Structure formats: structure tokens, C-alpha cells
Amino acid sequence: ELPFSESFKIKMVEPIRKSTREERETWIKAAKYNLFNLRSDQVFIDLLTDSGTGAMSDRQWAAMMLGDESYAGASSYYNLKNAIKNILGFEYFLPTHQGRAAENVLFSALVKEGDVVPGNSHFDTTKGHIEFRKATAIDCTIDEAFDTTIDHPFKGNLDLNKLEHVLQSHPKENIPMIIVTVTCNSSGGQPVSMQNMRDVYAMAKEYGIRVLFDSARFAENAYFIKLREEGYADKSIKEIVREMYTYADGMTMSSKKDAIVNMGGFIALREEELFKKASQFNIIYEGFVTYGGMSGRDMNALAQGLDEGTEFDYLETRIKQVAYLGNKLKEFGVPVQEPFGGHAIFVDAKRFLPHIPKEEYIAQTLAIELYKEAGIRGVEIGTLLADRDPGTRENRYPALELLRLAIPRRVYTNNHMDVIAVALKNVFERRNEIKRGYAILEEAPIMRHFTVELAPT
């Protein structure tokens, strides 16, 4: 058998530049030890996020040239509407400028003070939009998700007992929806099984509650179902995706991930009443209902991206690259979350740096060390991101301290993966020399991780 290789060839390139350790030490200090403050040219391999950082295809760029910039009723809007109908199966949709804008619009129509919103480890903007409305996000993820050493094929699953407990202990009027995040970013890019989607939907209907999918990485989720769940091996990704959405009443989408565009999002719904209500908010916050924060060319590229993003060959190339990095790290003994996520490798910082106290931001300490080592920018998924409790203002210490290495789509080669793996190995070998973590100098009252300023302790 021939070895595996990428399902694309490269038509356009963008130079990147190496730096010296000395330069990086100066830059990270000037950035107050916050990697969000670095300039992109101070970074060699950028793994901050897989969001909006993908490489569009020749077909997507070609679709952009055919974008229709009419204010109302643009053909690009109808192209996108058709793609959403055909691929995802929803009748109604609203374009928004990105995923959190979709949350803002839809939650404005749905969430009120005192509500509860159960789900599987809500993403931070999702949680932010719930808490901003004085409602509560309740995490019902299975316990296995919080132990990085347990091998479970669907660590994104909801625990049905936890979910039923929430549904029983709150009046229906206070539960505007259940949110299922596919794949579950906050638990490590972990998929939700079709069976779990089916069970959650059945329970939701029993209690008369709607189910929404936070869909940023829905296609990667479908790929894992095909590989790991019985009965799906012979189904196409598009068939699996169509079935997934029969267990949802609506969805919010950050198109910057699995639809491989640099900016964009949408809401898709089945209920006409809710669509009408959300349309009002879309007009106020985003733009008229046929463009809502996106230009015609961007809607065209997105329609094409939804089609490409749900093709098996593309997904296989993508997810195998992530696993390639994961396996290298494992060989080097670096503690990583298993099974590997779809969009990222998550390094278990508590197991990597067990001697750093949680009050000194373990995962952030590791992120800074990796940057200094090789100019690689990952992101902390730990105490900084978890923020303070809105009531007590105490730090919330999450079960896991992770360094996320998010892999942009169709951007880096496996040689870059080799560099990342060796750089982390080097840090791992000198881990006992890393004696201290960091303290906060300044922070914002909400979403502090973007702007926080730190100093070594």
C-alpha cells in the first residue's frame, strides 16, 4: 500500500520567518506574557486558533469573484441558503459576521434572566452570551471527558442523567434550549456520538425543549462518527451530517472553522416564528436578513466551503495531520489528551508541569515556554480562560489545564508538525528547570484572557 498523503496541492504560499530565542524573550516580555499581544510576524508557527486561519481553495476564491454585492436578495445569499438547505437540511437561515454574533442574535430572542441552558462544556463566547443575560450555563458533559488518560471514543457526549436532572429541576419556561457543541471544543475537540444526539433529542422532546447545535466543527464530528460508530463506516460525510441535524431544531455556526472561510457565521432554524423574532435582532445587530454582516463574495466562498468541508478526502487529510502531531508527541512522552481532538492537540499542562501551583497559571506558563523555545504560539485553555465566578469573583479553577495547539486547515505541512513536536520535547526535557509560573498584573472584568497582563512570579 502507498503511504498516506494530502488530498491537495499548493498553488499559493506565504513566507514565514524564524527568530532567535533572544528576540522572542524580548517580545514576549513586551507583550506582558500574553500571546494574544504578539504581532503575527513575531510568530513562526501560529497555533493560536483554527478559526478563520484556514487556506481557501481555488474554487472558493473563484466563487468570491462571482459574489453579488446587492443589498437585498443577492444571488450569493441564495447560493448560501441552498447550501444550508442541501447540506444541513434547514429551511430558514440568517447570515452573521461570525459565530458569537449568531449567538448574540439568537440568544437575544431566546434567553432571559434566570434561565438555565444545559449543554456539553459550552464554548466561552456561548457561556459569555448566556451569563451576560444573567442566565446560567450548566455543564452536562460525561465525566470521562475530564480525565485526559481515559480512552473514550466520544468524550463530547452529554451525560443523560445529568441532563435529565437539569430538565427535572427547572420549569420548562426557564430552559430556552439545550446546546450540543459538535465537536466539543472545551473538552478538547472531542466528538458527540450519533446515538447521544439521538438520545438527547428524544429526552428534549419528552420535556418540550428545543435542541440547538453549536456547529463550528460539525464536519469533523461527522468524520469521527464515520470512523468510530457502528453502522456509519459506509455512509458518506454528507449523509452523516444530514442525519445529525435531524436531531436539532436549529444551529449556530462559526463558519471560520469547518466551512474554511476567514470570516462568517450563521443561524439556521426550522421554526418560522423564532426565525421572524431573530430576524429583528439580526437587522439591529448584524445587517439586513440577506447579508447580515457578510459581503456577497464571502457568502459565496462560504457556500463552496460548506461543500468542500464535508468531503471525506479533505477531512481525512486534516484530521490525520492533527493525529500525526499527536502521535509524535506521544512517542516523546509528552502528556497529551487522548483520543486526539479533531482540530487540535491538547497538552495536559498539569501532567507536564506538576510542580507549578494552579494559582500561577500552569497552562499559560507552558504556552510561554513553547513560544520562547521555537516561536510557536499555542493558547491556554485553563484558569485564565475559565475566568472568575460572576458571583463571588473568585478564580474558577477548571478540572483541566490544557495548552491547545490548534492546527489551521490546509496551512502547514507535516514538516511544521515535526518542528512543533521537537520543540515541545525540548521543553519537556527541561521541565524541571521551569520553577515558577506567572501572576496577573491587570485583567478585564469579562473575557480576561484576551487582554490580561502578566509577570513572572
Q: Which stretch binds ligand F0G (CB under 6 A): 8-16, 123-131, 144-152, 430-438?
A: 123-131
Report in angstroms how near the CB of residue 432 gets to ligand F0G at its nearest: 31
383 sits near ligand F0G (criterion: CB under 6 A): no
Please give the backbone phi and psi of residue 23, each rounded to the nearest 5 degrees, phi first: -60, -45
Residue 75's identity, in one-letter code, is S
**Considering the rule CB under 6 A, would residue 249 count as an interface residue with ligand F0G?**
no
C-alpha cell belonging to residue 372? 520562547
Catalytic sites, residue numbers: 71, 123-124, 214, 216, 257, 449
How far is residue 118's CA from residue 140's CA, in Å, rounded to a whole number? Answer: 6
C-alpha grid cell for residue 270? 426550522
**Least distance CB 39 / ligand F0G (angstroms):** 19
Q: Which three cell numbers stand for residue 179?
A: 446546546
Instruction: Give the nearest distance from C-beta 403 to ligand F0G in angstroms.
Output: 13
Per-residue interface string for the shown chain with ligand F0G, residues 152-181, x marking contact by CB under 6 A: -----------------------------x
265 binds ligand F0G per the rule CB under 6 A: yes
Interface with ligand F0G (CB under 6 A), residue total 15
Where residue 266 falls (left for φ over 0; alpha for ψ -120 to 50; beta otherwise) is beta
13 burial (CB, 10 Å; 0-12 / 13-18 / 19+) is exposed
Three cell numbers, residue 393: 469573583
- Minimum distance, C-beta of residue 185 to ligand F0G, in the bound complex (Å): 4
Q: How far is the CB of 431 from ligand F0G (least distance, A)?
A: 26
CB nearer to ligand F0G: give 126 or 300: 126
Among 35, 87, 95, 100, binds ligand F0G (CB under 6 A): 100
Count other C-beta atoms under 10 Å from residue 368's C-beta: 27
Best CA proximity match to 142, nearest among 123, 162, 124: 162
The 200-239 contact track toward ligand F0G, x by CB under 6 A, reads --------------x-x-----------------------
d(C-alpha 354, C-alpha 28), whole Å: 23
Q: What is the DSSP string of 230-268?
A: TT-TTS-HHHHHHHHGGG-SEEEEETTSTT--SS-EEEE
Of the candidates 42, 120, 121, 125, which one interacts with ligand F0G according to CB under 6 A?
125
356 or 402: CB nearest ligand F0G = 402
Is the CB of 24 or the CB of 100 nearer to ligand F0G?
Answer: 100
DSSP 278-339: HHHHHHHHT--TTTTT--HHHHHHHHHHHHHHT-HHHHHHHHHHHHHHHHHHHHTT--B-SS
Min dist. Cβ of residue 410 to ligand F0G (A): 17
- Output 265 or 375, the one with its CB closest to ligand F0G: 265
Residues forming the site for ligand F0G (CB under 6 A): 49, 51, 98-100, 123, 125-126, 181, 185, 214, 216, 254, 256, 265
